[in-house]
Amino acid sequence: MAKKVRDLRSALELLAELPGQLLETDVEVEPMAQLSGVYRYVGAGGTVKRPTKEGPAMIFHNVKGHPDASVAIGVLASRKRVAALLDCKPEELGKMLCRSVEKPVLPVMCQGEPVCQQVVHRADEPDFDLYKLVPAPTNTPYDAGPYITLGMCYAAHPDTGAHDVTIHRLCIQGRDELSIFFTPGARHIGAMAERAEQLGRRLPISISIGVDPAIEIGSCFEPPTTPLGYDELSVAGALRGEPVKLCRCLTVDELAIANAEYVIEGEVVPNVRIKEDQNTHTGFAMPEFPGYTGPASDQCWLIKVKAVTHRVHPIMQTCIGPSEEHVSMAGIPTEASIYGMVEKAMPGRLQNVYCCSAGGGKYMAVLQFKKSVASDEGRQRQAALLAFSAFSELKHIFLVDEDVDCFDMNDVLWAMNTRFQGDVDTITIPGVRCHPLDPSNDPAFSPSIRDHGIACKTIFDCTVPFDQKDRFVRARFMELDPSEWVKQENEGKIS
């Protein structure tokens, strides 16, 4: 029976039992750029500049300037690892998340003293300093500052009280100040902050760091799958079959995840915007999922921190922006959302979805589609249009048949090379809003683009026309159980 995972520590304990999934070190590491620089080689993967690879998660136990804390990185930087942590097969992750969204389990209040408040630091104490309390690293020497990359931001709408949890770009700006970047129109907490600002109020917010991986995955769902008012902590509850436990913050009127390693309590300040790199003046923010270092924003909101609470000997959890970890967190919920939408529109035809590493989990999707009758021809393109209509960040969709492994990009490209003709199987949809972090989505790149963030969405239909399926049967190998030969090899009988 798999170990019961309900927080970061139990997740790491499970990974320690799995061969090649966790690496620990006591060698001192500098959190500023060095820590991420090491992990770039060990296991980052994703769209990180080569050389990199997909490897084990890693724990640094000797972090310079933070003698009582450790830093974990790459916990979700492998689809196989995510599947183990969620007790699921890798190819079934999207479908499992889809089912969890449809059957949410609401969070509840914990009983007794929450472990996240074992140690309390209040901002009105003279020695309070976020730089010393939170071992937030920088990814590169050019970052605007130390970033909290896996903070579960939790807040309530000022009018309805409905909660939402999302991950935002958080940069330490001072002893009791954080900047938070809201992508315009993309996250619910941004809408909550805007409404609070209209009312002339501060928005109470908690930032829980180091939590159950199910929470981190669930928090990455977006509209229309989880509309405003849907608390994504309910997805984690459904994944675990029991509710996420919350606790009341000590200094602000908000809730936090009770078994988190760290909780930062604060308030989003209205009518204040700050420059992200005001302390470093590098011009950059941090590396983002497309593989480029994003520009520093001059429109970040300000969080005034009231307290930091944490466990005894806390574990800071972080990630590299362009790594395979982002692919897991952003891509798998997108797979679930696309699968659920298409399944409702045309049941039984879409076999699976993969939002691959090359697209950072957001820009590209592979849809595995089965045509069973002649009237299914063309529906594969309808499925792609459904995905585009709902998820503005998607730029490219590859359509493949059911005999193609949608999780193997070599097999997808094989289908493109043998079942695709560019003049008839490329469908372009120009002038559509996409993602502002793609540097090619800009008028400077193409005169056809009217504004930054607009792109040409493209469908690559690599499926065989239904009336020609008999011509495209893959080579048929003998079906057998190879265990007898594999066993011999393992025993050294075959060299």
Average pLDDT over residues 62-90: 97
Which pLDDT value is given to residue 495? 30
* Domains recognised in the chain with CATH numbers: 6-323 (2.30.110.10), 345-465 (3.40.1670.10)
pLDDT the model gives residue 226: 84
Please check the confidence at residue 120 and state whether its pLDDT lies above 90: yes
Q: Tell me the per-residue pLDDT of 463-473, one tens digit each, with 9 for 90 and over.
A: 999 999 999 99
pLDDT at 274 (0 to 100) = 96
Q: Is the pLDDT of residue 223 over 90?
A: no
Convert the pLDDT of each residue in 81-102 to its tens digit.
Answer: 999 999 999 999 999 999 999 9
Angle at 98 between CA 238 and CA 330, to 5 degrees: 100
What pLDDT is stored for residue 346 in this prediction? 96
How much is the pLDDT for 397?
98
Instruction: Say what the pLDDT of residue 2 is.
Output: 55
How would residue 436 be classed by pLDDT, with cut points 50, 70 and 90?
Answer: confident
Does position 248 have pLDDT exceeding 90, yes or no? yes
Question: How much of the chain, in percent, has pLDDT values that exceed 70?
Answer: 97
Q: Where does the pLDDT of residue 185 fall: very low under 50, low under 70, confident under 90, or very high at 90 and above?
A: low
Among the residue ranges 3-7, 59-63, 269-273, the one predicted with the least confidence is 3-7
437 or 494, greater pLDDT: 437
Q: Give the pLDDT confidence score for residue 493 in this predicted structure.
A: 39
Asked if residue 136 has pLDDT above 90, the reply is: yes
| 294 has a pLDDT exceeding 70 | yes
Mean pLDDT, the chain, whole residue set: 94
The pLDDT, as a whole number, for residue 41 is 96
Confidence at 186, pLDDT banded by 50, 70, 90: low
What residues contact 292, with CB distance under 8 A and at least 6 apart? 322, 437, 439
Catalytic residues, which ones? 288
